[in-house]
C-alpha cells in the first residue's frame, strides 16, 4: 500500500502487467475530487448539491489519509454520494420507462489498470462497491444484470426490497418526462436529461491515481439501456501514465465520442494539462453533437481538470486542509479546516 505522506526522494515501484513502472519521487499533493453530475441544476437544488459534494470529497480524503489507497478513497467518496438522495446514483437514482431503478458503475486503478464495471444493478445502495467486487473477486471486468446481482449476493451485499431505492423526486421526474412526450418521441425512445451522476478521482503522494463513476442513468430510459459511466474510456478511466477521469452528461454522446480516452490521449501524447484537455474535448463534443457533458480529472502531474458544457455541474475537492467547490462556471468557493455540518 502506498503511504499518504511518503518521504521525499522515495521511488515508488508499481507493478504493471509484465513490467515494473518506476515513478517519480512521492511529492504529489494528495487530492480527492468529486462531481455530482452535469446538467440543469435548479437554484433550489444547489445548497444540497454543494453539501453533498463537499461531504463526499471530505470522506474520500479522510480515507486516503488513513488507508493510503486511492481506490478506497474514490469508492468512499462515491459511496457517500450514492447514499444521498440529491444525486442520481444508488438511493435517488432516476427511473427507467417502467419505473424501475437500473444502475451502472465503474472503478479503475491507475497503478495496474485493474478495473471493475457493472450495469443493470438493482436493489443495492452502492453499485460502485459491486464494481470493485467484480474487479477483485472475478476473472471478468464487466458484468451486467442478473449475473452481477448474483455476485452481490455471494459477496454479502445488503439486497434491499424492490423499490427501496425509489424516491418521490424520481417518481415525479418520470411522470414529468412522460407528460412531456408525444407518441412519436416515445417510440423513438428519446431520453431526458437527469443531472446527478456521481464520480470521483484521486491521486496520492506518489502519483497513483484512481477513478470511479456511478449512475442511475437517464429518466425514462428504455429498460436495459446502459450509459457511458461503466464504459472504460467512455465515462471512466485511470492510468498513472496519463491520469484519472470521470465524466457526466449525455451518455449516448459521451460513449460515441469516447470522451475520457480522447482527453487522456491529449494529456499523455499532446502535453495538455487535464484542464486544457477537458476544455478541448468537451467543447468539440458539444459542437459536433449539440449535447453537453462534464468532466473531473487529475493528470499524471497532479493537476486538476474541472469543466462542463452543461449549464451547471456540482463538484468539490479536498487538497490539504482546503475544500474547493462550485456549481456554476467559474465558481470556486473555498472552505478551510474542519467540516461544517450545515451549509451557511
Ligand atoms: N452519463 C450517465 C448516463 O448517461 O447514463
CA distance linking residue 19 with residue 41, whole number of Å: 45
Residues forming beta bridges with residue 331, ordered by sequence position: none
Asked whether 228 lines ligand 1 (CB < 6 A), one says yes
Asked whether 229 lines ligand 1 (CB < 6 A), one says yes
Instruction: State percent of the chain over pLDDT 70.
Output: 87
Mean pLDDT value of segment 55-68: 97
Give the per-residue pLDDT at 194. Answer: 58
Handedness of CA 213, 335, 304, 196 (dihedral sign): positive
How far does the centroid of ligand 1 lie from the alpha carbon of residue 281, in Å? Answer: 17
CA distance linking residue 280 with residue 95, whole number of Å: 32
Residue 61 pLDDT exceeds 60: yes
Mean pLDDT of the chain: 90
Asked whether 218 lines ligand 1 (CB < 6 A), one says yes
pLDDT band (50, 70, 90) for residue 98: very high
C-alpha cell at 249: 452528461
Give the per-residue pLDDT at 182. Answer: 60
Give the per-residue pLDDT at 184. Answer: 53
Going along the chain from its start, the domains and CATH numbers come out as: 8-336 (3.60.20.30)
Residue 254 has φ and ψ, to the nearest 5°, of: -60, -40
- Chain-centroid distance of CA 294 in Å reads 10
**115-121 and 142-144: which strand pairing?**
parallel
Residue 165 pLDDT exceeds 60: yes
- Residue 44's SS3 state is helix
Instruction: Tell me the CA distances in angstroms from 203 to 97, 189, 243, 259, 292, one per residue in order.
Output: 38, 39, 9, 21, 27
How far does the centroid of ligand 1 lie from the alpha carbon of residue 325, in Å? Answer: 22
pLDDT digits (tens, 9 = 90+) for 320-336: 999 999 999 999 999 98
C-alpha cell at 335: 472552505
pLDDT digits (tens, 9 = 90+) for 193-207: 457 899 999 999 999
pLDDT band (50, 70, 90) for residue 15: very low
66 Cβ contact list (under 8 Å, min separation 6): 4
Q: Name residue, grid cell 495496474.
A: 112
Mean pLDDT value of segment 269-282: 98
Give the per-residue pLDDT at 196. Answer: 84
pLDDT digits (tens, 9 = 90+) for 221-253: 999 999 999 999 999 999 999 999 999 999 999
pLDDT band (50, 70, 90) for residue 75: very high
C-alpha cell at 135: 474487479
Closest atom, ligand 1, to C-alpha of 249: 1
Instruction: State percent of the chain over pLDDT 90.
Output: 84
Query: Is 197 annotated in the active site?
Result: yes
Closest atom, ligand 1, to C-alpha of 226: 5
pLDDT digits (tens, 9 = 90+) for 116-144: 999 999 999 999 999 999 999 999 999 99
Residue 191 pLDDT exceeds 50: no
Asked whether 68 lines ligand 1 (CB < 6 A), one says no
Q: Where are the alpha helices (DSSP H) in the chain?
A: 46-67, 70-82, 127-137, 145-154, 168-180, 183-188, 251-257, 259-270, 274-289
Asked whether 248 lines ligand 1 (CB < 6 A), one says yes
Cβ count near 108 (within 10 Å): 31
**Cα within 13 Å of Cα(154), Cβ side:** 10
- From 197, 219, 286, 292, the catalytic residue: 197
CA distance linking residue 133 with residue 112, whole number of Å: 16
Give the per-residue pLDDT at 47. Answer: 96
CA distance linking residue 302 with residue 298, whole number of Å: 6
**Cα within 13 Å of Cα(315), Cβ side:** 27
C-alpha cell at 181: 412526450
Give the per-residue pLDDT at 19. Answer: 39
pLDDT digits (tens, 9 = 90+) for 252-261: 999 999 999 9
Residue 104 pLDDT exceeds 70: yes
DSSP one-letter code for 12: P
pLDDT band (50, 70, 90) for residue 343: very low
Counting Cβ atoms within 10 Å, is residue 241 exposed (0-12), middle (13-18) or buried (19+)? middle
pLDDT band (50, 70, 90) for residue 25: confident
How far does the centroid of ligand 1 lie from the alpha carbon of residue 188, in Å? Answer: 18
Contact 197, 214 (CB under 8 A): yes
Mean pLDDT value of segment 153-167: 97
Amino acid at each position: 500500500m502506498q503511504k499518504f505522506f511518503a518521504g521525499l526522494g522515495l521511488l515508488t515501484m508499481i507493478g504493471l502487467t509484465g513490467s515494473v513502472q518506476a515513478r517519480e519521487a512521492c511529492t504529489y499533493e494528495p487530492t480527492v475530487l468529486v462531481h455530482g453530475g452535469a446538467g440543469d441544476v435548479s437554484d433550489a437544488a444547489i445548497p444540497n448539491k454543494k453539501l453533498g459534494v463537499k461531504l463526499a470529497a471530505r470522506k474520500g480524503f479522510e480515507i486516503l489519509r488513513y488507508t493510503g489507497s486511492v481506490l478506497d478513497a474514490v469508492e468512499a467518496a462515491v459511496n457517500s454520494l450514492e447514499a444521498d438522495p440529491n444525486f442520481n446514483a444508488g438511493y435517488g437514482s432516476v427511473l427507467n420507462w417502467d419505473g424501475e431503478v437500473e444502475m451502472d458503475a465503474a472503478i479503475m486503478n491507475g497503478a495496474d489498470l485493474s478495473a471493475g464495471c457493472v450495469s443493470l444493478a438493482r436493489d443495492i445502495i452502492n453499485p460502485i462497491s459491486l464494481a470493485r467486487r467484480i474487479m477483485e473477486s472475478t476473472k471478468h471486468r464487466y458484468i451486467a444484470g442478473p449475473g452481477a446481482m448474483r455476485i452481490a449476493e455471494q459477496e454479502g451485499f445488503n439486497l434491499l426490497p424492490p423499490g427501496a431505492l425509489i424516491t418521490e423526486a424520481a417518481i415525479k421526474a418520470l411522470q414529468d418526462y412522460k407528460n412531456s412526450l408525444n407518441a412519436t418521441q416515445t417510440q423513438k425512445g428519446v431520453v431526458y436529461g437527469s443531472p446527478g451522476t456521481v464520480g470521483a478521482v484521486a491521486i496520492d503522494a506518489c502519483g497513483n491515481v484512481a477513478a470511479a463513476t456511478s449512475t442511475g442513468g437517464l429518466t425514462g430510459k428504455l429498460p436495459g439501456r446502459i450509459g457511458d459511466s461503466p464504459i472504460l474510456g467512455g465515462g471512466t478511466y485511470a492510468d498513472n501514465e496519463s491520469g484519472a477521469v470521470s465524466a457526466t452528461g449525455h451518455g449516448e454522446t459521451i460513449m460515441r465520442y469516447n470522451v475520457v480516452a480522447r482527453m487522456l490521449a491529449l494529456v499523455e501524447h499532446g502535453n495538455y494539462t487535464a484542464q486544457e484537455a477537458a476544455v478541448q474535448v468537451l467543447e468539440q463534443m458539444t459542437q459536433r453533437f449539440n449535447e453537453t457533458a462534464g468532466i473531473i480529472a487529475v493528470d499524471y502531474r497532479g493537476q486538476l481538470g474541472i469543466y462542463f458544457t452543461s449549464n451547471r455541474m456540482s463538484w468539490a475537492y479536498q487538497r490539504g486542509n482546503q475544500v474547493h467547490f462550485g456549481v456554476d462556471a467559474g465558481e470556486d468557493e473555498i472552505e478551510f479546516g474542519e467540516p461544517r455540518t450545515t451549509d451557511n
